[in-house]
Structure 1
């Protein structure tokens, strides 16, 4: 085992962190800079250990000088008032996620009493010889064209399987990969504005990307919600350029046409509301696909209000037409887990499709339950937890399903990484013959849990009576 194995499974408190430098709230920028220099620190906390008012970094000092601030200008005028912290008990993967989400490079490390006991910087993590998703996100933020994005996406593809090997749980790997890919989508969205600026809008990630359950992305599913005053002609040109950038970056468009350059995936909010009503009222196969994808919608760029408006419209549409939920639930039982009548794994040519018979039925069923109980989260585990709170599922059942999903995703990622190493497109085939006996046994139990879940869905939504 290498020195990097299990790194992401370590706690943040187990890493060396610099002791915090405190300066008085009345201290000047110059005094704060001297305190930082004396401690060889890149930041200081303004206030006391009991009452931290903010954080001042080297960049803030440079800004003060650039703005010709007076020598006695108070440090609090240039500090950031929000100090993002993480408990020493949290995993290193959580530290990376916090840095990614807040677009920062240092965190306050807190002890059992909640006080900041150290400053954990990205370079502290890099010193442990880990490829940093924070650094990759920074590279994406500086990307000037599609080729820069392509290099970043290729790096993410290489790094994602390694994170799993370094001890991050599969849910954390998915969250980190999604956070970095969000940065890529957002940067592409900004670069596309050079071609056309349509005005107010929201770019939404759909499907597994929206759920933060995509690991090695093979295509893109997205939509645009346009706000009041948006230029529809420019929105068309913008969407075409955006899809072109993402394609060149290594994310080809969805083969089913679920992309914002299509008219039916790029609309104003009122038009979306009308369309969602029509889809829920007449839930044929294409409507079920659209409703399912939109149920996972997550804003990655632009207006959060427009994205929230679409989510509300979807919830209202399906609540007014229960037939839509039944049609979506029927999709969750369309494929059965690959088990023989004796409960052993059923393989063809030595392989089985872990998505078709395992991951998809579980995520689709969770979508339906999430919509019915009004869950605001898009992740499968969160939807199952919401179903427990609503009384739809027993807590033990939800836990078993979440664990089954994690294990199936872990196997899928492992075989996808191997496909890439062999120069093949990553797929959903798992070879049971290459699993250990314990892994094969556990996979059987996962499929049995999915089969029981499908039976519950059939009963809840009376699918045997639904034609």
Structure 2
């Protein structure tokens, strides 16, 4: 029977029960189509859901190819289920199709909601679902646990007027390691056991001292329904060991580090502690080596790649802040600003990428006097596993260690005499984030840059142009286009997918004077500026996340194989069906986005 050859491993048929699969086998038929033979004629009734067994089918609106369906793909569902007008569907080569009758599909949709939702999801939802299916193969329960699922210490709240003696007695009675302190104005602070010991033993404060004078206010809190992983991100970023947990505006408990670590196996907070405690360069180098195993552990965990990248970027910044603290005197730190750029500046780092850093100095500091310090910084980063920047965008390059006034002159030059190099420098500077020292030095320069760029359409168009520099590796029939020569059989997902999105969004954000650095936050901001609608923004976000996840997977695979290849490339032959389809959908979205950028900046006329 025709149904015996039906592949139930591909979506949405993998969602069917055994009984439902039996019904498909009983009625599935097979049809053969010659090249250029019409499968569906636009406007005519559709009686079957078609599933490609072998071959290619192009779906067209007029002369434009909307999409191409290959083995495992289904088409005709919208016309079949929702009565939408069908597009022309034509075989592009000898093609075998499974034909599933209309009534069967309607019956399956009526009794199986997961099956029905497959046909109503947007592209972004399909990409997210594919990512979830892939990650579920290695997903650990703790990575999707909610905060309230971990052990929460009962909240013990005391007024700020409570004495240290009474606080100590309360903590002993309740066997608590911390207290919540409520100030007269309603703010909530935290008094830890170490805070109490430091006040009483080191600072020798009287035991009658009020805890309001010793507690830490401006407390970071987390919602009980947040992912436990997000609590880990907060602890890592802010170097804290406990988080008050709130629900409906009320504190319901306190999550402590040890309890969080009972759920989490990646131990990113321990990496942060290791960085903080490093007293020598070798100890800091040892902490840096923990980043690669951390990435390997997080890959396939179910955590969205944007949050993994955010955490890795935070750890890398923390490490460079610590390194700069080793090398720079306290006085120099007060009169300088160490900044990072590129993916690290955007909070999108998923590996130990090439160094992209710079040093802004107060005008009274002589840059030439810091050459040795800057060389030490770069060499230390190399020893930590961060390669030199091919473009020499590092503090050891005098061009990237300047006074505030000198950088201001450089920015003026980038804007007034645009060139490929000045655009590259400008792009890096737009993504910069202060890591150590005085952040106001960078803040003033960024403000100056935005002030210089007012309604300069020609400049902005040329700045955006590199987003179109590389071909998107997807063909006319939406098939993946593979590299040839030395990289035969691979796809460069950075040039073909990630870079066009990152830079195109950066250019649009610059035009709209959005000061955010992160690409995902820029996309959200551009929705507010009405450049994107919500649906397209969701598609673009999911496409970028999918491409970043593919890049991380390539990175992890290379580490396992001890390979020397670039993590920009993925081997097409190694892709699963889900990965192949997700990559194809993502690149289609990238291609549409590039068309939007070209139209918006009128690049055809420049």
Superposition TM-score, scaled by structure 1 size: 0.94
1:412 CA displacement: 0.7
1:365 aligns with 2:485: no
**Distance in 2 between residues matched to 1:2 and 1:122, nearest whole Å:** 28
User: 1:25 maps to which residue?
Assistant: 160
User: 1:238 maps to which residue?
Assistant: 373
| SS in structure 2 at match of 1:203 | strand
1:153 aligns with 2:288: yes
1:29 CA displacement: 0.8
**Distance in 2 between residues matched to 1:403 and 1:93, nearest whole Å:** 20
**Distance in 1 between residues matched to 2:165 and 2:324, nearest whole Å:** 40
When residues 230 and 6 of structure 1 are mapped into structure 2, their CA distance, relative to the original with a 3 A threshold, is: farther
Q: 2:537 aligns with which of 357, 375, 398?
A: 398
**Distance in 2 between residues matched to 1:291 and 1:203, nearest whole Å:** 17
User: 1:322 maps to which residue?
Assistant: 457
When residues 155 and 455 of structure 1 are mapped into structure 2, their CA distance, relative to the original with a 3 A threshold, is: same
1:224, 1:267 within 8 Å by CA — same for their partners in 2? yes
User: 1:450 maps to which residue?
Assistant: 590
| SS in structure 1 at match of 2:385 | coil
1:324 CA displacement: 2.9
**Distance in 1 between residues matched to 2:495 and 2:467, nearest whole Å:** 10
**Per-residue displacement from partner, 1:88-120 (whole Å, max 9, x unpaired)?**
111122212222232211000112x21111110
1:129 CA displacement: 4.9
1:423 aligns with 2:562: yes
When residues 168 and 198 of structure 1 are mapped into structure 2, their CA distance, relative to the original with a 3 A threshold, is: closer
1:85, 1:110 within 8 Å by CA — same for their partners in 2? yes
When residues 332 and 3 of structure 1 are mapped into structure 2, their CA distance, relative to the original with a 3 A threshold, is: closer
User: 1:174 maps to which residue?
Assistant: 309
When residues 228 and 50 of structure 1 are mapped into structure 2, their CA distance, relative to the original with a 3 A threshold, is: closer
> In the TM superposition, what are the counterparts of 1:319-398 in structure 2 within 5 Å?
319=454, 321-348=456-483, 349-398=488-537
Q: Which stretches in structure 2 are left out of the alignment for 5+ residues?
A: 1-135
User: 1:39 maps to which residue?
Assistant: 174
1:47, 1:54 within 8 Å by CA — same for their partners in 2? yes
1:401, 1:450 within 8 Å by CA — same for their partners in 2? yes
**Per-residue displacement from partner, 1:304-326 (whole Å, max 9, x unpaired)?**
21111121122233336433322
**Distance in 1 between residues matched to 2:185 and 2:423, nearest whole Å:** 54
User: 1:9 maps to which residue?
Assistant: 144
* Count of residues in correspondence between the two structures: 465
User: 1:462 maps to which residue?
Assistant: 602
User: 1:55 maps to which residue?
Assistant: 190
Q: Which stretches in structure 1 are left out of the alignment for 5+ residues?
A: none
| SS in structure 2 at match of 1:117 | strand
1:83 aligns with 2:83: no
1:176 CA displacement: 0.7
**Distance in 2 between residues matched to 1:167 and 1:202, nearest whole Å:** 36
User: 1:117 maps to which residue?
Assistant: 252
Q: 1:70 aligns with which of 193, 201, 206?
A: 206
1:25, 1:46 within 8 Å by CA — same for their partners in 2? yes
When residues 48 and 80 of structure 1 are mapped into structure 2, their CA distance, relative to the original with a 3 A threshold, is: closer
**Distance in 1 between residues matched to 2:279 and 2:204, nearest whole Å:** 31
**Distance in 2 between residues matched to 1:417 and 1:100, nearest whole Å:** 22
Higher-strand-fraction structure: 2
**Distance in 2 between residues matched to 1:211 and 1:50, nearest whole Å:** 36
**Distance in 1 between residues matched to 2:426 and 2:187, nearest whole Å:** 46
1:6 CA displacement: 4.1
| Cα RMSD for the two superposed structures | 2.2
When residues 146 and 249 of structure 1 are mapped into structure 2, their CA distance, relative to the original with a 3 A threshold, is: farther
| SS in structure 1 at match of 2:532 | coil
1:107 aligns with 2:243: yes
| SS in structure 2 at match of 1:165 | coil
1:281, 1:321 within 8 Å by CA — same for their partners in 2? no
2:156, 2:180 within 8 Å by CA — same for their partners in 1? yes
